[in-house]
Amino acid sequence: MPRSLHGDGEDEGILSSLSMFIFQVLSLAVLSWLFFLIITPRKAEDERVQRRRRDDSDEVAYVRHRERIDRSVTVRKKSKNHSTGTPSCCVRLPQELIDEIIDHLHNDTSSLRACALTSRNWAPRTQRHLHRILVIRRGGPDPYTLRFSPSLVRCVQHIIVRGNLCQELVHSPLSGRKEVERLDLENDPRQGSYTVTRAQLPALPGLRALSLRWVYFRTSRDMLEALSQFQELDTLALDLANFYFAFTSPHDVAPVITLPITTLRLKLRSMPVPINHAYRSQAVLHSAGKQLKHLAIKIDSFSPEPSTRVAQLITVLESLDLSANSSLQSLELAFRWTAMHFYSRVRTALSRRLAVVLLSQVHSGEPWTLTFHIQLSWWAEQREWLRCLDLRMLDHFAQPIIDVPLPRETTERILACATKLKALVLKLSLETDNEAFHRIEDHIRGQLPKLTERGILRIERCEESVDVFL
């Protein structure tokens, strides 16, 4: 009996503990549900409020941005209509003015590169100047890669080919471009010269200037036929310093071809004795005809004695025939004088003959200009110039003295050319200061009284050497 009662007590304790646990679990579940019902709507309401505030701030920012744009447009319109005299930072410069500023920096590569990175509107104009000159040489950039950059191809206006690489240019994207206006074919004299044909020259319909330095054609016919393909050719520079290609052979007959050349620059080498063959440049002179306006000749001589140099200069002038160039307006002769102590004592007979021969070659019926570009050697003291420099031979061009029998027509033409000479320009390339140059100028004017009296003498200081004549 007592054992059974004790066992029933234990069962009741277990049941009460179990019922208490169930009550606690249910109470926790009810509290969690109530918390969810109360807290969740408030959190959602807070999120909606924050989202509404963000939308309001974005709208306010957009409105402010539009107001700034409207104000800038209003300022631009006012500045355009000149209603206000105060400048505004929002005003843009016209593109024409920007292009003019960039064109002023065409020789400053670093400034052009900085301008190219400044604005997208500045890039096309700066690229035009940065890529205006293209140099093709061994180890340099490959011209074939330009086909991947058509915008750069349109910028190239001046091409320089150094070495026998004409085929590289013929097969490049530059062949056939009208934008190319100048072509220079150069070669190192230490490596010798090479010849080109018409097929090796690129087709450049817009070419206006062509320069050949130690690059030659085999015959005068090849030269004229190659030059005739450039219909817009205006300036031509030929280097005929190589004896093998400088003169024509008896079998070299030049065809009758008209070239539209107005400026011709020649580099010739004087001969110690008279020659029976004419210079190959004579074919170009005849082909240019009346269209030739400006002729410049650079004469190389190896004699240190001035009288010998003048005699060789006369030999070169006698070998030229300018009878077809009746519209010639300017003639320039450039040469180098060295050995300063030999400058003086040019024989009077040679100086008279120089004036007569040169004036007899000119057949121009218009007023013309004669220029002498003289490269003087370096000097130690100024008094050496004033003691040794003698240019009295140039005074005979003001009033030539004809002491040799000549046909009457030739004599009259010589006197007429001397009368129509409107200016004799003396360019001196020498290293000295301005004060010393003015003293040398006064010294030369004292040696040339006839030219000074006529008022046609001009003495200029030239910074460029005759070696960069072409």
In this predicted model, what pLDDT tens digit does every residue of 248-261 receive, in sequence order? Answer: 665 666 677 888 99
Q: Among positive and negative, which fits the CA dihedral 53, 57, 62, 64? A: positive
pLDDT of residue 429: 82
User: CA-CA distance, 264 to 281, in Å (whole number)?
Assistant: 10
pLDDT of residue 89: 46
% of the chain exceeding 90 in pLDDT: 16
Please give the distance of CA 176 from its chain centroid, rounded to a whole number.
Answer: 20
Q: pLDDT higher for 431 or 296?
A: 296
Give pLDDT tens digits for 35-68.
666 666 666 666 766 666 666 566 666 666 667 6
Q: pLDDT higher for 5 or 264?
A: 264
The SS3 call for residue 121 is: coil
Once rounded to an integer, what is the mean pLDDT over residues 148-165?
88
Neighbours of 56 (CB within 10 A): 10
The SS3 call for residue 271 is: coil
Q: What is the dihedral of CA 286, 290, 293, 297, to 10 degrees?
A: 20
Token readout for 74 is 């209003």
Q: For residue 94, which of 106, 83, 79, 84 has the smallest C-alpha distance?
A: 79
pLDDT of residue 82: 46
pLDDT of residue 86: 40
Which residues, 6+ apart, have CB-to-CB distance to 281 below 8 Å? 238, 240, 264, 266, 268, 320
Whether the per-residue pLDDT at 154 is higher than 90: the answer is: no
Q: For residue 370, which of 419, 441, 434 has the smallest C-alpha distance?
A: 419
158 in Cβ contact with 140 (< 8 Å) = no
Identify which of 201-210, 239-248, 436-445, 459-468 has the greatest average pLDDT. Answer: 201-210
Q: Among positive and negative, which fits the CA dihedral 445, 436, 345, 420? A: negative
Q: How confident is the model at residue 3 (pLDDT cuts 50, 70, 90)?
A: very low
Whether the per-residue pLDDT at 399 is higher than 50: the answer is: yes
User: CA-CA distance, 59 to 161, in Å (whole number)?
Assistant: 63
Looking at this protein, which amino acid is placed at residue 425? V
Q: How confident is the model at residue 340 (pLDDT cuts 50, 70, 90)?
A: very low
Give pLDDT tens digits for 179-235.
999 999 988 877 777 888 888 898 899 999 999 988 888 888 888 889 999 999 999
Q: What are phi and psi of 237, to 5 degrees?
A: -125, 125
Checking DSSP bridges between strand 133-136 and strand 330-337, what pairing results, if any? unpaired
Q: How confident is the model at residue 292 (pLDDT cuts 50, 70, 90)?
A: very high
Once rounded to an integer, what is the mean pLDDT over residues 398-420?
88
pLDDT of residue 244: 67
% of the chain exceeding 70 in pLDDT: 74
Q: pLDDT higher for 465 or 161?
A: 161
Q: For residue 191, which of 162, 232, 155, 220 has the smallest C-alpha distance?
A: 162
pLDDT of residue 31: 79
pLDDT of residue 459: 92
Once rounded to an integer, what is the mean pLDDT over residues 86-98?
66
| Domain spans in the chain, listed from the N-terminal domain onward | 293-470
Q: For residue 343, which of 372, 312, 374 has the smallest C-alpha distance?
A: 374
The SS3 call for residue 137 is: coil
pLDDT of residue 256: 78
Tell me the CA end-to-end span of the chain in Å, nearest whole number. Answer: 142
Whether the per-residue pLDDT at 342 is higher than 60: the answer is: no
Q: How confident is the model at residue 265 (pLDDT cuts 50, 70, 90)?
A: very high
For 187-262, strand residue ranges (E) read 194-195, 209-213, 215-216, 235-240
User: CA-CA distance, 261 to 235, in Å (whole number)?
Assistant: 6
Token readout for 144 is 């074939």
User: CA-CA distance, 12 to 458, in Å (whole number)?
Assistant: 140
Whether the per-residue pLDDT at 137 is higher than 90: the answer is: no
Which residues, 6+ apart, have CB-to-CB distance to 130 below 8 Å? 109, 112, 113, 116, 155
Whether the per-residue pLDDT at 75 is higher than 60: the answer is: no
Token readout for 319 is 């070998």
Token readout for 28 is 């926790």
The region, left, alpha or beta by phi > 0 then psi within -120 to 50, assigned to residue 4 is alpha
pLDDT of residue 262: 93
pLDDT of residue 158: 93
In total, the chain counts a number of residues equal to 470
User: CA-CA distance, 388 to 168, in Å (whole number)?
Assistant: 52
Q: How far is CA 388 from CA 355, 405, 442, in A?
A: 22, 33, 14
Q: How far is CA 15 from CA 7, 11, 18, 228, in A?
A: 13, 6, 5, 124
Once rounded to an integer, what is the mean pLDDT over residues 422-431?
88
Whether the per-residue pLDDT at 4 is higher than 50: the answer is: no
Residue showing tokens 């169930």 = 22
Which residues, 6+ apart, have CB-to-CB distance to 467 below 8 Å? 375
Q: What are phi and psi of 166, to 5 degrees?
A: -65, -35
Whether the per-residue pLDDT at 88 is higher than 60: the answer is: no
Query: If you average pLDDT over every residue of the chain, what do you get?
Result: 79
202 in Cβ contact with 177 (< 8 Å) = no
Residue showing tokens 């110039």 = 385
Give pLDDT tens digits for 348-397.
777 788 888 899 989 888 899 999 988 876 554 556 666 677 788 888 89
Q: pLDDT higher for 320 or 34?
A: 320
Indicate the pTM of the whole model.
Answer: 0.73
Neighbours of 96 (CB within 10 A): 7
